[in-house]
Amino acid sequence: MVRPWTRYWLTSAVAVPAVLALVGVAVQGGDIERKISAESTAALNSFGLAGNGTVVVSGRDVTLVGVPFERIPDAEKTVRALPGVRTVSARQPALGPLTISVDDKQVVIAGTTQQDTWRKQFLHVVGEYAHGRPLVDHTSTSPGTDFAMTTTAAAALVSVLTLEPGADVKVSVVDGQVVMEGVLPDAERKSNTAKLLQRLFGSGVVVDKTRSA
């Protein structure tokens, strides 16, 4: 006859090693997550994204949160190359409306992005290509958003529009379309500006409503 307490003891003797094994797996898994999190964060920092992204790790899977839209592909590639990482995905920000207006007196930019550092960097780079025209800042910050145009694309557009006088143009990015309205000095400038936008965004999304003077 097996006494009740003996049965429970035997059961415990079988269960405890299994429980300890599970605990060991959990501890090891936690160590792996912490290591991947630390290395992913360090990689983003070295990539120039210090303070501009959060790493969320589940097992060996990494999710990047708060990375600027234009930096997501490179950030994913950098983290994916780390040892132990299985998958990398990014939570993409909402691309809000962006407007760039150019005339002979100024360049006006309106739009939203998630972090003030991104906003200032965007404006700084674009301002360097405005050929001396003052930049009027109507941008703001809003959680989970980003500009609907990369810094490079915005700088190239502003550079072309301000290269010579005579342009009075507004370029708006809304709902996946790039709409250009206003007046350009001549047919050649009108054609060249439209071609630039098509190279940057694709001909299917550019709507040219400009006219030549």
On whether the CB atoms of residues 88 and 55 are closer than 8 A, the answer is no
Choices 3.30.160, 3.40.1350, 3.30.300, 1.10.10: CATH for 4-91? 3.30.300
Phi-psi region of 182 (alpha: psi -120 to 50; beta: other; left: phi over 0): left
pTM to 2 decimals? 0.70
Phi, psi of 172 (to 5 degrees): -120, 135
**For the chain, what percent of residues have pLDDT higher than 70?**
83
Q: Residue 125: count other Cβ atoms within 10 Å of its Cβ.
A: 14
Region 150-169: what's the mean pLDDT?
Answer: 91
pLDDT at 130: 95
The H-or-E segment that residue 13 falls in is helix 4-44
pLDDT at 15 over 70: no
pLDDT digits (tens, 9 = 90+) for 80-89: 988 888 888 8
Nearest to 209 by CA among 186, 184, 174: 184
pLDDT digits (tens, 9 = 90+) for 93-146: 888 889 999 999 999 999 999 888 889 999 999 999 999 999 999 999 998 888
pLDDT at 3: 53
Q: Please report the DSSP string for 184-210 in residue order.
A: ESSHHHHHHHHHHHHHHH-TTTEEEEE
pLDDT at 28 over 60: no
**Mean pLDDT of the chain, nearest integer:** 82
pLDDT digits (tens, 9 = 90+) for 59-81: 888 888 878 888 888 888 888 98
On whether the CB atoms of residues 79 and 63 are closer than 8 A, the answer is no
The H-or-E segment that residue 113 falls in is strand 107-113
Domain chopping of the chain, boundaries:
4-91, 94-212
Choices 3.30.365.10, 3.40.1520.20, 3.30.1490.100, 2.120.10.30: CATH for 94-212? 3.40.1520.20
Q: Please report the DSSP string for 46-74 in residue order.
A: IIIITTS-EEEEETTEEEEES--GGGHHH
